[in-house]
Structure 1
Amino acid sequence: MAKKANWKELMTLHLRAYIPALVAFLFLLPSPVFAAALSLSPTNASVRVGSTVTETVFVLSTDQAMNAISGTISFPPELLQVVSVSKAGSVLSLWVQDPTFSNADGTISFSGIVPNPGYTGSHGLTISIQFRGKRAGTAAISFSPSSQVLANDGNGTDILNDTNSATITVTSSASAPSTPPAPSTAEQGLLARIISSTHPDQTQWYNRPHAIFDWTNAQGVSGVRLGYDKDADGEPSVPYSEPLSHKELDLEDGIWYFHVQEKGSGGWGPISSYRVQIDTVPPLPSTVTFPQGTTTPSGSSITALFTTTDELSGIDHYQVAVDGKVFTVTADAGSRPYQVSAGPGAHMLLVQTYDKAGNFSTANGRFFVTGEASSFFDFFSFGWLAVNYISIFLIAFAILVTLLFAAWYIRTHFMAYRYRLNRQLGLTHAHVHKEFDTLKEAITEELLALEQTKSKRSLTREEERLIVRFKKLLDHAEQTIEKEIEDIQR
């Protein structure tokens, strides 16, 4: 028994020593860490003053599905200017805050959601930002510390643990490193003069994606190189052995540059580029609101708001219509409260938003003007309304009286006609009876004569048959005449 007790004590001591060690070991095991990153691409880019370059924001979340991104990007406003921010192709489909930017503060903000099951991947496009170079220098673009990437875990866990910045070098068009050697006189003659019949103004936006380019080749040109891209300093890469002078392209939305380079006897000449700006997407529909309410008293105006955004070319103007009257409102004026006046009653405010390419979207809002001061003209209008109602009543009354008179007239004439008809039928009945009685008497006398002859001699079979037949005919004729007369009198 003593040995058994010692064994139990020994096991208890061992357990007391191992359990804390086991718990510590479990806590020291590495736990899974889910992480996400936001990046800008390209990380290094260069652009000339006045030209544009595009930076794209990507999200990386390979270990854990994410369902929301909220970000703020900073850039030096003295070196760069945001031209547009595009959501096209974004993994974010629901936007809590549409991408906005401030060229004064040098910020770009956005916030969007990916519906369940979220997004998992290493190259999720979020937004695209088009910058224009303002002044030579090195511009650093970075995410603010408040940026977040939330996990699709039901708790909204922030899994963002890394962001990378980008650098854009803005160079002056007159700086020595970027200035190509001056072309020789022969090379200057190889500079193509490009024109476009579909997009004649290089500073204008168009909503036609089909572009036509023409140019005249210099004498002695043996071939050309063509190309198009979104780089103002791009180089054509497709050679043609024949000196083409016409090209048609179907382009997507954006700012494009068509490049032509001619080949002469001395080699390739300088590159000629032509800028095309295309925007085929209408502005986002305006949301027409009335911040002070949808009802206003007569004689006062109502305040309306209907601003919106256009991602590419920008808002050009608004067309506002009330009761068939159309007004043109500038883009700046449309960003402020707009005063609308109308007469008493319900009205529809129609707003068409036009971008700089001529695309437009339509929105509307309904408002009411109540109350009306009495005036002579108001009384006059009411009088005309009363006259109209009285006229309708009189016309209806006249139609009713006409119908009643027609019914009375038809009934009276029908009764007189029926009376005359009955009277005539009575006379006809008496005359027919009289004539029938005379005929009956004559036939009866003849039959009696045959009956008397029968007492003197035997009648022939033909005479017997005639006597029976005449009696039947007389009875039938009398019954038929009586019946027909009775039917007519009904």
Structure 2
Amino acid sequence: MKMFLKQTCYLLFAVFLVLQGTPAVQAAGAATMILSPQSQTVEVGNTFKVTIDVNASNEEIDTVRAYVSFSKDLLQATDVSLGNLFSRVSPGSSIDNTSGEISMGGFTLDGPVNGSGVFATITFEAIAEGQATIAVSPSSKMISAGVEKINPSSVGSSTVTIGAITFEDIEEGAAYLTVESPSHPNQSAWSSEKNANFSWSIDGGSSDITSYLVAFDDQLSTDPAIILSAEIDSYEVTDIADGLWYFHIKGVHASGVVTNTVHYTVRVDATVPNPLEPSVSQTQLLEGESVELYFGTTDETSGILYYQVAINGGEYVPKASPVIFEDLVAGTYLLQVGAVDYAGNETYGSVSVRVYPEGYDLERPVGYGEEKTEKEGAFWNTTTMAVTVIVLLLVIGGGIVIGLRKKK
């Protein structure tokens, strides 16, 4: 009898512990994220690309966020563009060449992705000799309906060996060609200017330049073929569409030798970010209460650089979502939000809130202010279940004990 009661107590205690629950351990999924190629060799001044390749492994992925680090003293990231799998840019995508970090987010509205392909392509410029490392962080995300599905141990890296500048591709007796762009002076910066101007100069050469060969397209290493006379030292391209473009040029000497080929990068984004529709935690409140302002949008080409917030037509101040407003006096407030992309294009949205004097009888939904947090709700639901099961076990155990005593 004593043994039975002792075992029953152990059982009740074990059930209580199980029902109290422990934090769920989120197992890694099967989705993977790697870099390609895993190694390559370039020279100082070269521009090259690395792709972020993802494999959903049938995990139904709808959202991806890649965190990539790189050797900031050896490389400069000049562009990140999404592939076709997740073609919509998520807010918060950015390049930070100071810290050597890239954050690129993308999502799809065309149904989840089950297969594999290129998530994004990163363009780098080699700025110094050495061996650089580009790596995907294990904290990168591959989400399926809000659930993490990436296998953190699957993330990859890429090694880039950077050598000194060589002029082996310049024929003997050829001049060295350099290019500038008054309209787009920084090849790493996005611009809303749709017309591009280029000028060039040559240094050295054993014979005169008789012509130049030029091209303008979206390919990194095009061999130019449009012929310009030697007297021309500038070129203009108008009405450029949004995107990453390249101006290619090389010179031809009278002797037949050619100069080096220059591939000058032009980044154009003349389109404002997607519509911005801010929201608030409550549109009506009393003095002494706070209200939270939420906002976010995307930009298809250059990405969102920052957000700015103003109240009632006041000065805009850079802010990140959410913004909490406290100590608002009675009145009506127009909360205005602006989104600025990397090319300086802006879009704006606003939402109004009304603050009433303290003590005002403000109509609110039944149960307002009494909501339990998810954690609290889970705790009380678990506790209630535990108590119920324990009571049932005690009743059953008590019945068994009474039955045994009657038999005696």
1:265 aligns with 2:254: yes
Structure of larger gyration radius: 1
Partner of 2:272: 282
Partner of 1:360: 346
From 179, 183, 188, the counterpart of 2:166: 179
Kindly report which structure 2 residues correspond to 1:70-469, keeping only aligned pairs within 5 A, or say none. 75-78=69-72, 85-87=80-82, 89-92=83-86, 112=107, 118-119=112-113, 124-131=117-124, 133=126, 136-142=130-136, 144=138, 165=156, 167-169=158-160, 171=162, 176=164, 178-180=165-167, 187-188=174-175, 191=177, 194-196=180-182, 198-199=183-184, 204-213=189-198, 220-228=208-216, 234=221, 236-238=223-225, 240=227, 242-243=229-230, 245-248=234-237, 251-266=240-255, 267-272=257-262, 274-283=264-273, 285-286=275-276, 288-290=278-280, 294-295=283-284, 304=293, 306=295, 313=302, 315=304, 320-323=309-312, 325-330=313-318, 333-334=319-320, 337=323, 344-371=330-357
Contact 2:90 2:298 in 1 (8 A): no
Q: Report the CA distance between 1:85 and its aligned residue.
A: 4.4
Check 1:114–1:363 CA distance in 2 against 1; reply closer, same or farther (3 A cut): closer
Contact 2:35 2:157 in 1 (8 A): yes
Q: Distance in 2 between matches of 1:316 and 1:113?
A: 21
Percent of aligned positions with the same letter in both sequences? 24
Counterpart residue identity of residue 353, structure 2: F
Number of residue pairs the alignment of both structures matches: 319
Check 1:305–1:81 CA distance in 2 against 1; reply closer, same or farther (3 A cut): farther
Counterpart residue identity of residue 68, structure 1: I
Write the deviation string for residues 409-438 of structure 1: whole angstroms up to 9, x where unpaired: xxxxxxxxxxxxxxxxxxxxxxxxxxxxxx
Q: Distance in 1 between matches of 2:178 and 2:150?
A: 54
Counterpart residue identity of residue 138, structure 1: A
Contact 2:339 2:346 in 1 (8 A): yes
Q: Distance in 1 between matches of 2:142 and 2:36?
A: 19
Q: Distance in 1 between matches of 2:39 and 2:107?
A: 26
Farther off after superposition, 160-169 or 220-229: 160-169
Q: Provide the aligned C-alpha RMSD in A.
A: 5.4
Q: Report the CA distance between 1:274 and its aligned residue.
A: 3.8
1:57 aligns with 2:52: yes
Q: Report the CA distance between 1:261 and its aligned residue.
A: 1.4
Report the structure, 1 or 2, having the larger helix content: 1
Counterpart residue identity of residue 56, structure 1: T
Q: Distance in 1 between matches of 2:340 and 2:332?
A: 26
Check 1:316–1:51 CA distance in 2 against 1; reply closer, same or farther (3 A cut): farther
Check 1:272–1:45 CA distance in 2 against 1; reply closer, same or farther (3 A cut): same
Contact 1:320 1:326 in 2 (8 A): no
Check 1:51–1:363 CA distance in 2 against 1; reply closer, same or farther (3 A cut): farther
Check 1:340–1:226 CA distance in 2 against 1; reply closer, same or farther (3 A cut): farther
Partner of 1:401: none
Check 1:199–1:336 CA distance in 2 against 1; reply closer, same or farther (3 A cut): same
Write the deviation string for residues 53-76 of structure 1: whole angstroms up to 9, x where unpaired: 443334457xx8652165755544
Write the deviation string for residues 435-466 of structure 1: whole angstroms up to 9, x where unpaired: xxxxxxxxxxxxxxxxxxxxxxxxxxxxxxxx
Q: Distance in 2 between matches of 1:216 and 1:100?
A: 34
Q: Which runs of 5+ in 2 are unaligned?
A: 1-29, 359-408
Q: Which runs of 5+ in 1 are unaligned?
A: 1-34, 373-490
Q: Report the CA distance between 1:222 and its aligned residue.
A: 1.9
Check 1:286–1:236 CA distance in 2 against 1; reply closer, same or farther (3 A cut): same
SS of 2:267 mapped into structure 1? strand
Check 1:341–1:185 CA distance in 2 against 1; reply closer, same or farther (3 A cut): farther
Counterpart residue identity of residue 276, structure 1: V
Counterpart residue identity of residue 270, structure 2: T
Contact 1:93 1:115 in 2 (8 A): no
Q: Report the CA distance between 1:223 and its aligned residue.
A: 1.9
Counterpart residue identity of residue 122, structure 2: I
SS of 1:138 mapped into structure 2? strand
Q: Distance in 2 between matches of 1:241 and 1:353?
A: 42
Check 1:49–1:334 CA distance in 2 against 1; reply closer, same or farther (3 A cut): farther
Q: Distance in 1 between matches of 2:262 and 2:152?
A: 46
TM-score normalized by structure 2?
0.55
Contact 2:65 2:142 in 1 (8 A): yes
Write the deviation string for residues 179-198 of structure 1: whole angstroms up to 9, x where unpaired: 3279899755x7365445x5
Contact 2:89 2:298 in 1 (8 A): no
Q: Distance in 1 between matches of 2:106 and 2:34?
A: 16
Q: Distance in 1 between matches of 2:229 and 2:355?
A: 71
Partner of 1:457: none
Contact 1:261 1:272 in 2 (8 A): yes
Check 1:328–1:36 CA distance in 2 against 1; reply closer, same or farther (3 A cut): closer
SS of 1:68 mapped into structure 2? coil
